[in-house]
Amino acid sequence: MASYILTFDLGTSSERAIVFDHNFNIVGMEQQEFPQHYPSPGRVEQDPIDIWNTQLSITNSLLKKLHISAKDIAGIGITNQRETTVVWNRHTGQPVYPAIVWQDKRTVAYCETLKTEKYSALIREKTGLIIDAYFSATKLHWILNHVPGVRTLAEKGDLLFGTVDTWIIWNLSGGALHITDVSNASRTMLYNINTLEWDTDLLDLFNIPAAMLPAVHDSSEIYGETAEGLLGKERIPITGIAGDQQAALFGQGCLSPGMAKNTYGTGCFMLMNTGEKAVKSNHGLLTTIAWGVEGKITYALEGSVFIAGAAIQWLRDNLHLIKTVAESETAACDVQDTGGVYFIPAFSGLGAPHWDMHVRGTICGLTQGSSDKHIIRAALESIAYQSKDVLDAMERDSGVKLEALNVDGGATNNDFLMQFQADILSCPVFRVDIVESTALGAALLAGLAIGFWTQKDISRSHGKGRCFKSHMSENTRKELYQGWLRAVKQARTCRVGKADERRKKD
């Protein structure tokens, strides 16, 4: 019997190949960053070929390093950055345009037009989403309308659309599988989360040919196999798919209504399991599909913070205030506080609960006494403040006050951030032993489909971890958070407007 589950964790800035054994242990992991492209302000692109080649390379490297062959792998689970949009030729396999990343804001004006034309309620009712450039539909619409010759090819049936999971699986299967799962489909702004099908009204609204769209499946089933020769002579079953945040919710063991997690990565994503009920939000959250298992759909409320760990990378790569991301914790602890500095990292606008596509990044409260360490600490604190914004909205929508927050993702290794998060929430923050909960969730879904694990096994997949408890006084907490809210209000006055657009044209 095969001994391992292989997971592809397709992140925004890096990709991982991770092998899990029967006891949920990580046997080995290979990770590699891949290039990001910023052709103009507000635009973020990736080369789909880079995405595929990077994942294929690190996977083969990992299997070789571990002396594992394809016959040792019971199944492959896929988890991915969501909303990022890829269009390729079904005959040649070549992308017709770079992947437009979820952070990209080129369709903001089109989104505003849709709002003006009163489509907000329709889209919210059908998809659980708000109109925003974040989601795939307007990105696909842009490609069809702006890349020469693409619409003609699409209407002839020559082009395929997919989020990153779909693109990877198409390549992994040698072009045999053009599929996605319900969790990823629910992030496109084209999928009806009530009827569980691509919505013809929305396809008409965005003028998207239905032939481009992948088949939608549960998040845990046997979809097909890898192409021969890609990962060895044997073919490996592909058995699990979930968007990264939904996979993390599953991997954190948040399997019952009311349980919530927060993932700290490029962005920050908080999800609460709402069970079989699609709860509508009145406070700026999204209603989304968490997963589909054995024909049963589980829904969630979600709040998305666009820039979290990416703010620390920006300090490293653009301002050169630190040499490594890990140095941010040391720098933050070298000062007692931020000295009144607040960092609003709205490089891609503000997500939940504000949903302001026009606001831009702002640093408030600078004085001559402000240092690089104050700015670094403020950047870390901004991640916790944005998460509190989302949690407060989630509690109002659900009517449930969280007793503890489960956390995962690379930034949770930063003890300063985790302690400040607990302090500003006045809520215990529980960091599990396996911080790669996203990959674990995909592995669990893949393993369930083939009997590698049972539902009972999953209940014991979550090890002990560290609990960060609040030590901050209520007065200090309120004072700091009120300062944050004032800083957000100030940042929202710094908007991209007509003058900026004229300057671009000039």
| DSSP label at residue 83 | S
**Three-state DSSP state, 468:** strand
pLDDT at 500: 52
Beta-bridge mates of residue 79: 9, 242
CB distance 105 to 357 below 8 Å? yes
H-type alpha helices, 318-414: 327-333, 372-398
Residue 12 tokens read as 């925004």
Q: Which sequence spans correspond to the domains of the chain?
A: 4-245, 309-390+474-498
**Ordered per-residue pLDDT tens for the chain, 506 residues:** 689 999 999 988 889 999 999 999 999 999 998 888 999 988 999 999 999 999 999 999 999 999 999 899 999 999 999 999 999 999 999 999 999 998 899 999 999 999 999 999 999 999 999 998 989 999 999 999 999 999 999 999 999 999 999 999 999 999 999 999 999 999 999 999 999 999 999 999 999 999 999 999 999 999 999 998 888 888 999 999 999 989 989 998 888 887 888 988 888 889 988 889 888 888 888 999 999 999 999 999 998 888 888 999 999 999 999 999 999 999 999 999 999 999 999 987 888 788 787 888 999 999 999 999 999 999 999 999 999 999 888 888 877 777 788 888 788 889 999 999 999 999 899 887 776 788 999 999 999 999 999 888 887 766 567 899 999 999 999 999 999 999 999 999 876 654 454 444 44
The domain at 309-390+474-498 falls in which architecture?
Answer: 2-Layer Sandwich (3.30)
**For the chain, percent helix, then strand, then coil, each to nearest 5?**
35, 25, 40
Residue 201 tokens read as 């009204």
Residue 308 tokens read as 């979290």
Residue 292 tokens read as 């589909």
- C-alpha distances out from residue 505 to 107, 112, 349, 499, Å: 17, 20, 21, 10
Q: Which fold has domain 4-245?
A: Nucleotidyltransferase; domain 5 (3.30.420)
Listed residue (214, 211, 275, 260) closest to 241, CA to CA: 214
pLDDT at 306: 82
CB distance 87 to 212 below 8 Å? yes
CB distance 61 to 14 below 8 Å? no
Give the C-alpha separation, 410 to 419, whole Å. 15
DSSP string, 197-217: EE-HHHHHHHT--GGGSPEEE
Question: Helix axis angle, 48-66 relative to 164-172, nearest 10°?
Answer: 60
Q: Position of tokens 């395929």?
A: 160
Listed residue (152, 161, 30, 146) closest to 84, CA to CA: 161
pLDDT at 506: 45
DSSP string, 97-147: S-EE-TT--TTHHHHHHHHHTT-HHHHHHHHS----TTSHHHHHHHHHHHS
Listed residue (3, 197, 165, 2) closest to 77, CA to CA: 165
Q: Could you tell me whether strands 220-225 and 191-192 are parallel, antiparallel, or unpaired per DSSP bridges?
A: unpaired
Residue 291 tokens read as 């997963």
Give the C-alpha separation, 501 to 263, whole Å. 35
Domains 4-245 and 309-390+474-498 share a fold: yes
**Three-state DSSP state, 46:** strand
CB distance 182 to 247 below 8 Å? no
**Three-state DSSP state, 269:** strand
Listed residue (170, 184, 183, 169) closest to 136, CA to CA: 184
CB distance 41 to 203 below 8 Å? no
Helix (H) or strand (E) holding 500: helix 498-505
